[in-house]
Amino acid sequence: MTKLAPEPVKTKTSRWVLAGAIAVLVILLAAPASIVLLLRDDGGGGTEAMRIASLPTDVAVLGDTVWVASGREDRVVALDAGEAERVQRHPTGSAPLRVAAGAGSVWTANAGDDSVTRLNPLLPGAVGRRIPIGADAVDVAVGPDGAWVTNGQRGTVTRIDAVSNRVLGYPIRTGEFPTALAIGGNHVWVVNSGDGTVARVDPRENVVTGRRLPVGRDPQDIAVGFGSVWVANRGDGTLTRLSATDGRPQGPSIRVGGAPGALAITQDAVLVLDTNSGAVLRVDPRSLAAVEIMRIPGYPAAIAVGAGAAWIVDSRSGTVTRVTD
């Protein structure tokens, strides 16, 4: 099976996130869903469930800790990957939708109050620093040049300095309704869900390099690995592959199920999560063959790789599933 990478490539988002942000705020007051951690072994053994939080919307991994955004409770939940019973809860801003790990911190994009929260994972129970960004916060990714946040309604991305914890420079216009973003190949890659394109931002100059790159219909997520940029197109059930060097298309689109909505990179494959059927597909970066490896019941929303496993959150059933070799 897929060899799991020791650290994840952070990506993550689901489109509708701003229409979604309103929907999420409604959901926060509605059904009492809870996060349940499901531990699956590769031999088809039993599962172990543990109730830890409410409305999981995203997941990231830093070292041996799994971080889950809990939208209804305005917090992020930290799980010890080796001992799932060890759980810590950290407050964030209002309605955190997305979570990222990097620069020695954990970051959440808070849809409810247009902010980002930065947490120090080494401080148990620590209250994170809230950073206002002056625009809607949809997704967040972290790289060597700071944290980057997509602003869906504004059509921009905002940069946060990792030293001063302040917004750096002016927002950068990338396209119509930017949602997901990823960092790699010396660029910040931004999915514009509203116009079906990807923008390539030069972090040294704070500008979009070249023209926007057309991808598939209703692109949802983006990841960088194996010399390529991979884009999950939920609207047409495809995966677009671009060069991580110059953004040029690398062959035709790859068929990957009905509604691919989330991606993760392992040591030897690209994992694709079909947010309609719950199928998890493994795409070989050399042959480009896509094989379904399992299904997650419910409404899976995000996937991350790290700590020797893949971790999948399901907002509808309130679950986190750990998939191991």
Rounded-to-integer distance, Cα 320 and Cα 303, Å: 9
Best mean pLDDT range from 32-46, 124-138, 163-177, 296-310: 163-177
> Could you tell me the pLDDT band of residue 27, with boundaries at 50, 70 and 90?
very low
Q: Which fold has domain 17-323?
A: Methylamine Dehydrogenase; Chain H (2.130.10)
Rounded-to-integer distance, Cα 179 and Cα 19, Å: 12
pLDDT at 19: 42
pLDDT at 129: 94
For 118-141, the pLDDT digits (tens) are 999 887 666 789 999 999 999 999
Residue 209 corresponds to which tokens in the numbers above? 């390099």
Asked if pLDDT for residue 30 goes beyond 60, the answer is no
- 116 Cβ contact list (under 8 Å, min separation 6): 93, 107, 108, 109, 110, 130, 131, 133, 137, 140, 147, 149, 160
For 226-268, the pLDDT digits (tens) are 999 999 999 999 999 999 999 999 999 999 989 999 999 999 9
> Could you tell me the pLDDT band of residue 55, with boundaries at 50, 70 and 90?
confident
pLDDT at 150: 98
pLDDT at 305: 96
Residue the block writes with tokens 């597909």: 281
Least confident of 86-90, 101-105, 146-150: 86-90
Residue 298 corresponds to which tokens in the numbers above? 């419910």
pLDDT at 10: 40
> Could you tell me the pLDDT band of residue 297, with boundaries at 50, 70 and 90?
confident
Nearest to 324 by CA among 74, 82, 69: 82
CA torsion, ordered 308, 240, 302, 30, to nearest 10 deg: 180
Question: CA dist 194 to 99, 176, 218, 230, Å?
Answer: 22, 5, 7, 18
pLDDT at 87: 84
Name the residue ranges covered by the structural domains of the chain.
17-323
Asked if pLDDT for residue 58 goes beyond 90, the answer is yes
Question: E strands within 144-227?
Answer: 146-151, 156-160, 172-173, 178-184, 187-192, 197-202, 207-208, 213-214, 219-225
Rounded-to-integer distance, Cα 238 and Cα 220, Å: 11
Residue 160 corresponds to which tokens in the numbers above? 């946060």
Rounded-to-integer distance, Cα 157 and Cα 174, Å: 7
For 171-218, the pLDDT digits (tens) are 999 999 999 999 999 999 999 999 999 999 999 999 999 999 999 999
Q: Under a CB-based contact definition with an 8 Å cutoff, are residues 5 and 266 in contact?
A: yes
pLDDT at 28: 35
pLDDT at 4: 56
pLDDT at 317: 74
pLDDT at 125: 65
User: How many Å is the Cα radius of gyration of the chain?
Assistant: 18
Q: What is the mean pLDDT of the chain?
A: 85
Indicate the pTM of the whole model. 0.88
